[in-house]
Structure 1
Amino acid sequence: MKYYEKEHFDAYARIRAEGLDQWNDLHDEDSAQGYDRFAARDFLERQLPEQGGGRTVFEYGCGTGGAACFMASRGYSVHAMDLVPDAIHIARDRSADRGLDVLFEVGDICRGAGPRQPVDYVVDCFCLQSIVADQDRATVLDGVHRSLKQDGLYVLATAMFEPGRDYGADRYDPETGIVWTHSSRGTEGARQLGQTWFAPVRRHLSPTSLRLELRQHGLDVIAQTGEFGGEVVCRKLG
């Protein structure tokens, strides 16, 4: 198991055990207002046509499936994937309760998992910031490029660098955008800073750095909005 996986397995086990709706419900300051008010809903409402008309979507890092169910309810054909079986279990139950036909699948996009055929949209609702290692991010973004139809769009909502943010006991590296958190010496990717061992836990890029990274993987930003530039729409290059 990679170092970043344990946090997600533990989180979704707790969400399932406590009957919560989604990841944000684990944090009082971010707690959502029910299953249908998932993070990035307003962004998706602005960026996706109101009627899907059978257009195809692949969402990775779908969590408990709020966004996938929302898109399916609008007529999109949705294939949604998450690393964690507990998350997919909840997503399948919630979609069945709503009478929605969504293909939910357990899979790891950092190991190359993805849709079987190119799609009209690839959607990410706050997953990318948790993919920290350069090689993992390259695998994911190359996969996004490969998964899109030639006229397809990548619709991305991600946490970004926020000037003045207090990281508390964590460390932020402005050159890489990596957030380092306390860890044991044997954790994958850990390094010693002073007398303490830290592991990379998040990637918070500046708007310019994110655009450059996306372009390196054949994704051209056509819109970048949000308070810190974390609401992004890309088209496929080449």
Structure 2
Amino acid sequence: MISNDLSILVADDNEMNRWLLAEQLRCWSENITLAVDGREAWGFLQGQKYALVFLDVNMPGLTGFELVKKVREDSVNQTSPVIAITAHVQSHQKHLLTESGFNDCLIKPIVLADLQRIIDQWRVPAGEGSSHYYANTVLEKFDSNKALGKQFLQKLFQELPLQMTELKLALQAHAAQPALNIAHKLHGSFCFYGLADFRASASRVEQSLIAGEFAEACRHFQQLDEKCEALLDMRVEVLTHMEG
């Protein structure tokens, strides 16, 4: 079913590749924005939130890798599913894409069956917020093993409140090294779960502490704390999606 509710950004410096992917995506949506390179894509990504973002990994100006890093660090699309477009990737290299901030990848030449999988897995249904996104992110990290993904998510939900409280107390006490240790642990945890937006937020706290910028670390902590509270508030919905 074609829907204009599904907003999509496609960024590829090759005109033919860009046009072909857009034509294929019109099976699902007419609301498609095209960017001719990384810099133009970054302009779009700062001003509008997209339901799906497709980035060619090799673009002039800003590569897909550089662009997804900026998206995860500071944009309205921090939680948007971002799909890498590449000419080739080995199965053992896919983790490099996810560690860089991508949610998934498409291999050129792109076929409709692969796009269908991407749409089914990463499209965030209207009215469901980001719970579907977080469930899919963890499932992707655990190779679609629902039982294992749910088990680890429950562990995250149990540990996260205590870790955030410990970090808050360390920051309030101006205990820089303990705060840095906790921030580093949180950063590693979010990397493990594939939660790119949380990883970027935790990284900003960690890097500010390393640089001795305590006020900045506190500011970034506040942003991370708000994100964690929102995630914990939707924990039931996330776990429900994991079972679905």
Length-normalised TM-score, structure 1: 0.32
Structure 1 or 2: larger strand share?
A: 1
More helix by share: 2
Which protein has the larger Cα radius of gyration, Structure 1 or Structure 2? 2
